[in-house]
């Protein structure tokens, strides 16, 4: 089939684009920027026709009308997505007669998403044929455990043939390592692996330690039945470890039965740590009791000891237990995790102990003390203690940084924040070359067809072949194409953080602004929420099921729809949330409602948008507390980080929208208390 179709891409994408020196003055880059549209000027109408023809060819292949499909494909010889049609056609016509065509495709498109898709389908075809020789020849690592097991089985057979032909048994040693890696899995594996696993075990490779490791993996995957089955493979004298671990997993309080820990095996230490982490959030008193019992009975590493004592301090602080401070004081600030430092701060803010905060910030390592958060709170503490000159010095240092604390410091100093925007340095010709790469062209076309997942796969393939110096280029190119989410992600991954205009695009500007005005809320706030929620990715889906630009939960959407005036036709809410117009309308309506329910306190409404109004209300203190202190004491890290990010983004967007205003200024005198309940 392929030899009858003229194919547009005869040259593979080079792993390193040799574009010479990339760094040039940013001003020159702006003035000399060449056309980065993958569709040549004047050919957009032709490309639109090709998209329609591509979709027609796809439908013909699905209906197995192959002759008509090939006729369409002949007219698409220069269309970037032709490889996807070839894959679809080949998948429905696998045969040994077409093997040369399949292998040619593998060779020409090595590493591309289309090649991986075709290879997986081809391997499955070979499994059905039980064709081990071809399978081994064409196998590359696969996600499918079934294909992995078939590979191991066929490789073992091939090695056995070599041994029968006179090769040394030593050729099995690297193979046994592969089998060990496969066996060390948290879930049951396909029966295709059984013959190889049996040979591996007979060769003495199934050691007590490997069995133990797999039991731990199974319990982490909540596969109690598998863990129970694996226990039989432990040695007689160590089987008690597996039984004990399974009981601790099922009933964490088992860890309080100290007599069941005889100290015969060092792996009891792992069971103790596992059990402590299991009870950490359910019984903090037991956590302290058990750790104090076992702390000196096992040889915990310094890292394990430090982590556990930090975890205990954080847990006690989160529970409001006064013992938290005692545990924190036993840990050197230099050895604390960022989470432990955060909760040390929160614990002392809760009691207004600015003396302790000042001492703590003075003891931080220089690289930590120079962060805006600790400069800000060192300044706040010293101001409370009357050390005004030093407080001003630290606050001015914090105000130089473009983040929540920098903007908050600027508000305290009544200064306008600085965005510190810098254009990245790049060569315009390099950007033009990148835009013409086959993977870039395919990504562009897939995005035009709203096949966002496939477009991202092609984009990631494109980026994987770039050097460190070149990684800013796809960020700039994505921005030029209006592919805002990929631009944002690529800038973050490249470490190029000062291109504020591209990192904080005014995406969907008319849609967001009009809906903000309709809902009588600040457009900069809507931009900030959307930027934080989805990075402007219209098909974003969170692990919890929130969808679209403003990450609306289907239940929230249904609630808002019921309260909307006029008829409410039955629609598929989940799909509706991927429509930008519907999503933003619902999101801004919800923000306006949260504002109403929080007495127009946009700080509380921001927290409620992330955590829910009722949970946010649980965090409101009985006695008034300064707004900046309340933010630090939000018990959920996700919401705490979310609020800080949204407020910082809102400041940036306010300035990008032309407003000379310090968004965080209202926080300076704002007090939060339990009287604000919606």
Give the CATH number, domain containing residue 338: 1.25.20.10
Half-sphere exposure of 358 (CA within 13 A, CB side): 17
pTM of the predicted model as reported, rounded to 2 decimal places: 0.89
Q: Among 405, 424, 443, identify where a domain stops.
A: 424
Say if residue 337 is in the same domain as residue 369. Answer: no
Rounded CA-CA distance 451/439 in Å is 15
What percent of the chain has a predicted confidence (pLDDT) above 70? Answer: 92
Whole-angstrom Cα distance, residue 311 to residue 296?
A: 17
| Contact assessment for residue 212 and residue 231, using Cβ atoms and an 8 Å cutoff | no
- Report how far apart, in Å, the C-alpha atoms of 637 and of each of 418, 540, 615, 640, 666 are: 27, 22, 14, 5, 23
Phi first, then psi: give them for residue 547, nearest 5 degrees: -135, 150
Question: What is the per-residue pLDDT for 32?
Answer: 43
Grouping H, G, I as helix, E, B as strand and the rest as coil, residue 626 is strand
In the chain the first and final C-alpha atoms are separated, in Å, by 66
Task: Tell me the backbone φ, ψ of residue 672, rounded to 5 degrees.
Answer: -110, 130
- Asked whether the predicted pLDDT for residue 567 surpasses 50, the reply is no
DSSP of 217-252? HHHHTT-HHHHHHHHTTS-TTTHHHHHHHHHHHH-G
Tell me how far the alpha carbon of residue 217 is from its chain's centroid.
Answer: 22
**Residue 598's closest CA among 588, 579, 613, 583?**
613
Which of 21-25, 106-110, 656-660 shows the lowest mean pLDDT across its residues? Answer: 21-25
Q: Where are the beta strands (DSSP E) in 47-109?
A: none
Three-state secondary structure call for residue 541: strand
Integer-rounded Cα Rg, in Å, for the chain is 30
Last residue of a domain, one of 351, 370, 399: 351
Q: Which of 332, 227, 274, 342 is nearest to 639 (CA)?
A: 342
6 and 98 fall within a common domain: yes
149 lies in the same domain as 210: no
Local structure of residue 273 (DSSP, 8 states): H
The answer on 365 and 247 residing in a single domain is: no
Question: Cα–Cα distances in Å, from 249 out to 219, 241, 262, 663?
Answer: 7, 12, 18, 48
Q: Residue 511 region, left (φ>0) first, then alpha (ψ -120 to 50), else beta?
A: alpha
pLDDT in the model for residue 575: 86
Are 491 and 472 in contact by the 8 Å Cβ rule? The answer is yes
Distance CA 449, CA 516 (A): 29
Do the domain assignments include residue 625?
yes
Residues 394 and 522 in one domain: no
Q: Which residues pair with 552 in a beta bridge?
A: 547
In a domain, 440, yes or no: no
Structure tokens at 438: 């086959």
- What percent of the residues of the chain are helix, what percent strand, and what percent coil, each to the nearest 5? 65, 0, 35
**Could you tell me how many residues make up the chain?**
678
Range in 115-129, 494-508, 549-563, 622-636 with the lowest mean pLDDT: 549-563
Residue 172 lies in a domain: no
In the DSSP assignment, the letter for residue 625 is: E
Could you tell me the two tokens for 40? Answer: 């040549």
Does residue 473 sit within a domain? Answer: no
Distances (CA, A) of 2 to 94, 116, 270, 527: 13, 18, 57, 48
Residue 547, SS3 per DSSP: strand
Q: What confidence category does residue 11 fall into, taking pLDDT thresholds of 50, 70 and 90?
A: very low
154 and 248 co-located in one domain: no
Condensed to tens digits (0 to 9), the pLDDT of residues 443-471 reads: 999 999 999 999 999 999 999 999 999 99
List the one residue out of 328, 390, 332, 326 whose CA is nearest residue 364: 332
pLDDT above 90 (res 565)? no
Alpha carbon 366 to its chain's center: 29
Q: Quickly state the pLDDT bin for 674 (edges 50, 70, 90).
A: confident
pLDDT level of residue 173 (50, 70, 90 thresholds)? very high
In this structure, the answer to whether residues 640 and 578 fall within a common structural domain is yes
User: Token pair for residue 459?
Assistant: 């984009």
Residues 6+ apart with CB under 8 A from 321: 284
Taking only the tens place, the pLDDT of each residue in 114-165 is 999 999 999 999 999 999 999 999 999 999 999 999 999 999 999 999 999 9
For range 478-500, the mean pLDDT: 96
Q: How confident is the model at residue 43 (pLDDT cuts 50, 70, 90)?
A: confident
Residues 245, 141 share a domain = no
User: What pLDDT is attached to residue 18?
Assistant: 30
pLDDT for 367-421, tens place per residue? 999 999 999 999 999 999 999 999 999 999 999 999 999 999 999 999 999 899 9
Q: Is residue 545 part of a domain?
A: yes
Burial of residue 2, with CB atoms counted within 10 A of its CB: 0-12 exposed, 13-18 middle, 19 or more buried: middle
Q: Which domain holds residue 629?
A: 509-672
Does residue 672 sit in helix, strand or coil?
Answer: strand
* Residue 91 among the catalytic residues: no
Catalytic annotation, pick one of 470, 533, 593, 632: 533
pLDDT score at 568:
53
What interhelical angle do 224-231 and 239-250 show, nearest 10?
A: 160
Asked whether residue 678 carries a pLDDT value surpassing 90, the answer given is no
Q: Which two tokens stand for residue 498?
A: 């000062």
At 671, is the secondary structure helix, strand, or coil? strand
The CATH number linked to 578 is 1.10.530.10
Same domain, 659 and 627: yes
Residue 497 lies in a domain: no
Same domain? 144 vs 195 = no
**pLDDT 10s digits, 595-622:** 999 999 999 999 999 999 999 999 999 9
For residue 371, give the DSSP letter: S
Distance CA 602, CA 521 (A): 9
Looking at residues 48-66, what average pLDDT do you find?
97
SS3 state of residue 14? coil
- Rounded to whole angstroms, the Cα distance separating 505 from 482 reads 9
Burial of 170 (0-12, 13-18, 19+ CB in 10 A): exposed
Q: Could you say which DSSP state residue 666 is in?
A: G
Count of the separate structural domains present in the chain: 4
Specify if 480 maps to a domain.
Answer: no
Look at the block and give the residue holding tokens 């005014």.
Answer: 506
Instruction: Please indicate, yes or no, if residue 483 is contained in any of the structural domains.
Output: no
Which of 115, 143, 166 finishes a domain?
A: 166
Q: Is 103 in the same domain as 197?
A: no
**pLDDT at residue number 21:** 26
Q: Are residues 346 and 371 in the same domain?
A: no
Q: Which of 603, 605, 610 is nearest to 591 (CA)?
A: 605
Q: Where are the alpha helices (DSSP H) in 295-427?
A: 302-318, 323-329, 338-350, 354-362, 366-369, 372-384, 388-398, 404-412
Nearest alpha-carbon partner for 486 in 535, 538, 414, 436: 535
257 Cβ contact list (under 8 Å, min separation 6): none
Q: Is 670 helix (H, G, I), strand (E, B) or coil?
A: coil
What 3 state SS string does 89-149 have?
Answer: HHHCCCCHHHHHHHHHHHHHCCCCHHHHHHHHHHHHHHHHHCCHHHHHHHCCCCCCHHHHH
3-state secondary structure of 552: strand
């Amino acid at each position: 089939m392929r030899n009858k179709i003229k194919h547009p891409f005869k040259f593979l994408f080079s792993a390193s684009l040799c574009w010479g020196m990339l760094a040039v003055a940013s001003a020159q880059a702006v003035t000399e920027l060449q056309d980065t549209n993958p569709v040549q000027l004047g050919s957009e109408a032709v490309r639109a026709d090709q998209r329609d023809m591509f979709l027609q060819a796809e439908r013909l292949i699905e209906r197995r009308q192959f002759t008509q499909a090939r006729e369409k494909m002949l007219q698409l010889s220069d269309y970037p997505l032709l490889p996807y049609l070839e894959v679809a056609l080949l998948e429905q016509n696998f045969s040994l007669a077409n093997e040369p065509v399949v292998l040619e495709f593998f060779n020409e498109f090595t590493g591309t998403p289309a090649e991986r898709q075709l290879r997986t389908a081809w391997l499955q075809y070979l499994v059905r044929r039980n064709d081990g020789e071809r399978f081994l020849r064409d196998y590359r690592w696969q996600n499918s455990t079934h294909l992995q097991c078939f590979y191991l089985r066929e490789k073992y057979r091939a090695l056995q043939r070599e041994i029968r032909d006179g090769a040394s048994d030593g050729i099995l040693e690297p193979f046994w390592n592969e089998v060990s890696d496969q066996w060390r899995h948290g879930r049951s594996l396909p029966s295709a692996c059984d013959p190889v696993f049996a040979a591996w075990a007979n060769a003495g490779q199934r050691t007590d330690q490997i069995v133990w490791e797999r039991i731990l993996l199974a319990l982490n995957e909540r596969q109690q039945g598998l863990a129970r089955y694996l226990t039989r493979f432990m040695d007689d004298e160590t089987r008690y470890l597996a039984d004990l671990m399974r009981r601790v997993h099922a009933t964490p309080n088992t860890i309080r039965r100290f007599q069941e820990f005889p100290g015969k095996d060092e792996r009891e230490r792992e069971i103790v740590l596992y059990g402590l982490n299991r009870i950490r959030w359910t019984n903090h008193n037991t956590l302290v009791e058990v750790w104090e019992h076992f702390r000196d009975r096992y040889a915990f590493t310094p890292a394990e000891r430090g982590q556990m004592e930090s975890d205990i301090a954080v847990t006690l602080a989160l529970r409001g237990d006064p013992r938290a401070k005692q545990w924190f004081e036993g840990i050197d600030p230099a050895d604390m995790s960022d989470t432990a430092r955060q909760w040390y701060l929160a614990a002392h803010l809760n009691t207004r102990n600015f003396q302790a905060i000042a001492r703590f910030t003075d003891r931080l390592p220089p690289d930590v003390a120079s962060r805006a958060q600790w400069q800000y709170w060192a300044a706040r503490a010293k101001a409370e203690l009357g050390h005004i000159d030093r407080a001003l010095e630290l606050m001015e240092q914090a105000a130089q940084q473009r983040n929540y604390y920098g903007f908050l410091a600027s508000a305290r100093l009544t200064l306008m924040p600085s965005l510190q925007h810098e254009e990245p340095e790049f060569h315009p010709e390099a950007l033009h070359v990148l835009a013409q790469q086959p993977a870039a062209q395919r990504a562009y076309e897939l995005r035009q067809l709203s096949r966002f997942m496939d477009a991202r796969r092609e984009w990631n393939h494109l980026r994987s072949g770039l050097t460190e110096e070149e990684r800013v280029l796809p960020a700039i190119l994505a921005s030029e194409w209006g592919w805002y989410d990929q631009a944002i992600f690529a800038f973050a991954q490249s470490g190029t953080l000062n291109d504020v205009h591209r990192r904080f695009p005014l995406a969907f500007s008319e849609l967001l602004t009009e809906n903000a005005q309709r809902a009588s809320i600040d457009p900069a706030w809507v931009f900030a929420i959307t930027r934080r929620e989805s990075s402007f990715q219209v098909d974003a889906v969170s692990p919890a099921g929130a969808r679209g630009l403003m990450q609306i939960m289907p239940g929230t959407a249904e609630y808002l729809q019921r309260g909307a005036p006029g008829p409410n036709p039955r629609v598929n809410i989940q799909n509706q949330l991927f429509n930008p117009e519907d999503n933003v309308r619902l999101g801004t309506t919800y923000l306006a409602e949260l504002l109403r329910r929080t007495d127009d306190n946009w700080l509380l409404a921001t927290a409620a948008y992330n955590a829910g109004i009722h949970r946010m209300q649980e965090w409101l203190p009985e006695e008034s507390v300064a707004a900046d202190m309340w933010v630090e004491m939000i018990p959920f890290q996700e919401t705490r980080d979310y609020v800080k990010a949204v407020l910082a983004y809102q400041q940036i967007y306010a300035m990008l929208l032309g407003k000379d205003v310090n968004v965080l200024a209202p926080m300076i005198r704002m007090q939060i208390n339990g009287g604000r309940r919606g």
